[in-house]
Chain A
Amino acid sequence: MLKKIAIHQLPDLASGLMGKGTLVAPVRQDAGFQFREITDAKQVDLNYHNTVISPKSVFFPQTEDFVRYRTGRPMLEAETVEPEGKPLILFGVRPCDVKSFEIMDIHFSGTGPVDPYWQARREATTVIGYAFDLSATAEPEEFYRTLGIGAADPEGSDVFMVRRGDELLLKSITARGEALLEAIDDLAGASADDGKFFDDTVAAGRDFKTRFACVDAKAVTKKLEDLFHNTEFWEKAAAACLSCGVCTFACPTCYCFDICDETLFGRGTRRRVWDACMFTDFTLEASGHNPRTKVYQRLRQKIGHKYSYHVRKYGVISCVGCGRCTRYCPVSVDIFSIVEEAMKT
């Protein structure tokens, strides 16, 4: 099903969607765009390239409570926080970020024990993807094409949006997406010409140019394994790295977390909080032993995890080329340049 709406009617579309569930969409904030729960339909703003923090935070928030308790009270009084399953509409996700959900699904709900918090939110969410603007050039940090992701790939979204002039075309990709579009009043029918434009955009998105040539995941995996003990290579690659957590926190496919107990004024929570392999104490053991005391060891872990270990374990590279890690790195460490350099070594 293909529908359309004028861009100036975006608030109408947003309020229609707000009637179907909690709407999460890009909002302009002090520090750039972020996905936020919408309370006023006028907040939704599609004049963004991409958000600072990836939309993974919708399914995997930076802080997630498992248990709440009062300190000093018997443990049986503690209250389990059940996974949330309220209907959610995630609006305006770029194709590379949509792809990240599939990669994260493999880890959180597709292999081993199921993470109930991730799964509950994923199942309750309708994803509305949004093609990049193909009339502009890609940002210099982006390389999703390198990883086989088009600038207008609708796969993985329930509804996919393409902008055509002053109109927004919305196409249902899944049955869930179709049900949603049917239930929104303000949408107009689209013409056959609109349909052609939509399909042409999807096709053009596959030829859209971002940095770097395409990669062979298997070759990268093998190369990084072979390079593991080449300390000189990794020290050079990590010479500038500050070992902060910007890249991991902004990344759509980084999932490492800590489980901690936090207490304040007699109230306590057992919760998970995003963690980063770039932090010094990430692997500090109770014995005092730490296998990764040096910056190069931690950067090697990060790159190895994304482009090698993840491929070995789950069959896919754990990166979608969104470019956030490079864009927000205070010292411009460019993860894929390091992979490229590795392939040449």
Chain B
Amino acid sequence: MAVSFQQIEERLRNEARRLLESGEVSLMLAWGKGYDENHPMPYVAKCPSDADGIVFNEYCTHNMARYLVRYPRGTRIAIAVKAADSRAVVQLIQEDKVKRHDLVILGIPAYGIRNPKTGEVVDGRTTCGLYNPVLYDILIGEEVHGQPASPPYTVLAEYEAMDKEARFAFWKKELDRCIRCYACRKACPMCYCDPCFIDQSKPRWGEKSPETAGNLMYHLTRFHHLAGRCVDCGECSRACPVDIPLYLFHKKVAKDCEAMFGQAAGMSIEDKPVLVHFRAEDTDNILK
């Protein structure tokens, strides 16, 4: 990478200071110091002096778009995004959860980001694998040219080779581990429903206990609520304390969605959310 993580960190601090000093934004979402260097954490800078707390290193996996909906509409926010994160911002704009003009987007082309828990490089196997943010106002670093080293759907080959029964058995086994801590939905930038369907008591969609029926109800419904909306940032899977490969299902739905409707989630603010936008020429395959 032409621009080092340290240079990116410096630029982020400078931009934060400038944006907060000028009053252009009232807060900036980025990453800050965690309990050690391998664990930076989401950070909110609210005044120019907070800018020095911003950190950027290879463990900055978190998708800061998750925090956008936490602030009242109309709050002017600067947000630092990597490629997949920027797609989440775009998708949130499409869904009218944030306004484009309320945001200053600082785009960071980055690769070699690592999962702090496992040390593994976060690439197309568990995320969309893109290098460059799809939307930004200020570029932090240099855009990376060329195709992603790991395309987003290659990892699906093994899963797609399974038949229906094998897939059900696979998910039943994986989801049986779920402890229903809801880290996946809380880490997900697109999971903003309040209340979430699974918390409703009338009707009660699924049970609270971490048992097969409720677990399947929760996860399968959530997977489908994210159809055409999941930006493949992989936060759900990294958040999971019992390592359920949630990204596989999301990737599969995203791939099918792209094949059927020719549109990937969060790529352009001109797009309309694919499942709420009816076009006469849309495929009927979804019903099969």
Q: Which residues of A contact B (CB under 8 A)?
A: 29-32, 52-53, 62-63, 140-141, 211, 236, 239-240, 242-246, 248-250, 258, 260, 262, 264, 271, 273, 276, 279-281, 295, 326, 328, 330-334, 337
Q: Which among B70, B208, B235, B244 is the interface contact of A258 at CB below 8 angstroms?
A: B208
Residues in chain B near residue A262, CB distance under 8 A: 207-209, 214
The 9 closest A-B pairs by CB, nearest first: A330-B239, A244-B186, A242-B186, A31-B242, A240-B42, A245-B181, A244-B183, A332-B39, A31-B243
Q: Which residues of B contact A (CB under 8 A)?
A: 34-36, 38-44, 62, 66, 70, 116, 177, 179-183, 185-187, 194-195, 199, 207-211, 213-214, 235, 238-239, 241-244
Which of A242, A333, A334 neighbours the largest number of chain B CB atoms within 10 Å of its CB?
Answer: A242
> In the complex, what's the smallest C-beta–C-beta distance from B126 to chain A, in angstroms?
14
Name which residue of chain B comes closest to A247, CB basis.
B181
Q: Which among B42, B70, B210, B243 is the interface contact of A30 at CB below 8 angstroms?
A: B243
Contacting pair B238 A330 (CB below 8 A): yes
Q: Which among B66, B177, B194, B213 is the interface contact of A242 at CB below 8 angstroms?
A: B66
Name which residue of chain B comes closest to A258, CB basis.
B208
Contacting pair B209 A337 (CB below 8 A): no
Q: Which among B181, B194, B199, B235 is the interface contact of A246 at CB below 8 angstroms?
A: B181
Residues in chain A near residue B239, CB distance under 8 A: 242, 244, 246, 330
Q: How far is the CA of A250 from the CA of B241 in the complex (A)?
A: 9
Q: How far is the CA of A273 from the CA of B235 in the complex (A)?
A: 26
Known A63-B210, A264-B213, A280-B194: A332·B243 in contact at CB below 8 Å: no
Known A244-B183, A262-B208: A31·B42 in contact at CB below 8 Å: no
Contacting pair A246 B241 (CB below 8 A): yes
Q: Which among B186, B210, B242 is the interface contact of A52 at CB below 8 angstroms?
A: B242
Contacting pair A63 B43 (CB below 8 A): no
Residues in chain A near residue B41, CB distance under 8 A: 240, 331-333
Contacting pair A328 B241 (CB below 8 A): yes
Name which residue of chain A comes closest to B31, CB basis.
A240
**Can you give 9 contacting A-B residue pairs, CB < 8 Å?**
A30-B177, A63-B209, A140-B38, A244-B183, A246-B181, A246-B241, A330-B239, A332-B39, A332-B41
Residues in chain B near residue A326, CB distance under 8 A: 35
